[in-house]
Structure 1
């Protein structure tokens, strides 16, 4: 077999998978096993960081490549494996879960019937029922709350645990009760500081100031615009997506009156996010209504068929 017989397929594989591939995928692409062995030898052009996995360069692996290699080791895409724990949190955009140098451990969530165990720097978690994954840059991730639970179970740093939980609730807008339920009594029992933090955040979440919620409702009611859902809980393919101040479900429009709350994730999905400073509700109500009307007329936005909106408290 000549190089030209497989070079195009090899380039395509490298491009689509960030130069990470299983040995089986290389074989399917027509790459001779002899060539794979030769290039993966010490000092060769490729490397074998894990069993059955090849990386098509000889330098250090990026954090993203380590995640892809861990998934390949776990059998993805043939199995429903997904990244979880600290690595998934970072890919979800949780700043408190910044990758440490070299990303020494990657956590992977796999079905309970998958016969695979922790190996060197890949830590395997088994689950009877896997959640629907979130896709970030083509990498399947456990939903952010599940990733946090897996990460907190393994972490020995109490400050890191508190920082992650606080960012999920205060910045990303995940209700404290949902975080507490996912962590469960076993984790919270070992993390009294996290339990205390969740209890306090349950009544101190990022809800608008007392006058802001009623003011926004009154403004929309007077405007003649369609009524949104106020403080709903959004899910994407069953995974928690956030709890915005208001959401027009037919249009994919989010009204954001506070800090954080998942704005980056909503925008990445293609939803229209209208950021309004609370003071503008009273000082420039006409401008707010005009912006809302223009946004509604420009819709719909985002993958509406994948989003479920549960009404919030009135």
Structure 2
């Protein structure tokens, strides 16, 4: 078989899979075993960073390629697997997600019962039930809160763990109770600074009373009902969990820290910031501001934003 017989198929794999493929895929494409061994030798044109995985280039892998390689090692796409932990957070766009030091590890979730085990930097976690993955740049990734919990659980750097939790809650708007529940008591007991931060975020006036007052004010004013505490996704990726969101208008109501105002505004949404005290001191002004914002809308690329209902 000549090189030209398999070259188009190899080019297709390189283009579609960010140059990350497997021995089985290359064999199916017609690459002879002798050619594969030759090109994967030291100094060759390809490399084998993990068993059964071939990267169609030389030199260091990008973070995305490492994630794809770890998934291929775990059997994806033939078998279920997804990226989690620090690598998953990085794919979700969490700014502080890069591992603090040393060779980056890619964490992979697979169903319990699979015989695959951790190998070098591909760390395999066996779980009884896989969560529904998010598709980020064509890579299956654990939901943001799950990826954060796995990253915090595995981290040996308590300062990094706290920074991850702070970014999720303060910048991205992940509800502190949801994150605490996913982490669990055992992890929080080992992370006292994380536990104290989540307690502080969940005990302020916003969590205790602002939302019920806002719901009552919107109802009395006869305004269109928003979704309360929804999860917003932009092109499938987590965007935020604001206090309220008017789906037809692209309007967000922000009652305090933690909704990720900058991230929501960068997506084109209108964010109306209302101090909790204003709900009782100047409710008429709040209603007028809401009416004006709704009348001036809609805002943002609404066709690219998905809103999932939150707690009632």
Q: What is the DSSP-based 3-state SS (H/G/I as helix, E as strand, rest coil) of the residue aligned with 2:309?
A: strand
Aligned to 1:114: 114
Alignment of 1:148-163 (within 5 A): 148-163=148-163
Aligned to 1:227: 225
Alignment counterpart, residue 246 of structure 1, candidates 244, 247, 251: 244
Aligned to 2:269: 273
Aligned partners of 1:182, 1:261: CA distance in 2, in Å? Answer: 19
Q: Which runs of 5+ in 1 are unaligned?
A: none
Contact 1:281/1:288 (8 A) holds in 2: no
Alignment counterpart, residue 291 of structure 1, candidates 282, 290, 296: 296
Alignment of 1:62-73 (within 5 A): 62-73=62-73
Length, aligned pairs only: 300
Q: 1:134 to 1:233 in 2, by over 3 A?
A: closer
Q: 1:71 to 1:256 in 2, by over 3 A?
A: farther
TM-score normalized with structure 1 length: 0.81
Aligned partners of 1:106, 1:252: CA distance in 2, in Å? Answer: 39
Aligned partners of 2:159, 2:12: CA distance in 1, in Å? Answer: 43
Contact 1:245/1:255 (8 A) holds in 2: yes
Q: 1:273 to 1:264 in 2, by over 3 A?
A: same
Aligned partners of 1:252, 1:220: CA distance in 2, in Å? Answer: 17
Alignment of 1:170-189 (within 5 A): 170-189=170-189
Contact 1:105/1:121 (8 A) holds in 2: yes
Contact 2:229/2:244 (8 A) holds in 1: yes
Q: Shift of residue 60 of structure 1?
A: 1.1
Q: 1:187 to 1:100 in 2, by over 3 A?
A: closer
Q: What is the DSSP-based 3-state SS (H/G/I as helix, E as strand, rest coil) of the residue aligned with 2:174?
A: coil
Q: Which runs of 5+ in 2 are unaligned?
A: 276-284
Q: Shift of residue 282 of structure 1?
A: 8.0
Contact 2:46/2:56 (8 A) holds in 1: yes
Q: What is the DSSP-based 3-state SS (H/G/I as helix, E as strand, rest coil) of the residue aligned with 1:97?
A: coil
TM-score normalized with structure 2 length: 0.81
Contact 2:132/2:143 (8 A) holds in 1: yes
Aligned to 2:252: 255
Contact 1:83/1:107 (8 A) holds in 2: yes
Q: What is the DSSP-based 3-state SS (H/G/I as helix, E as strand, rest coil) of the residue aligned with 1:42?
A: coil
Q: What is the DSSP-based 3-state SS (H/G/I as helix, E as strand, rest coil) of the residue aligned with 1:87?
A: helix
2:144 matches 1:144: yes
Q: What is the DSSP-based 3-state SS (H/G/I as helix, E as strand, rest coil) of the residue aligned with 2:269?
A: strand
Q: 1:284 to 1:177 in 2, by over 3 A?
A: closer
Q: What is the DSSP-based 3-state SS (H/G/I as helix, E as strand, rest coil) of the residue aligned with 1:135?
A: strand
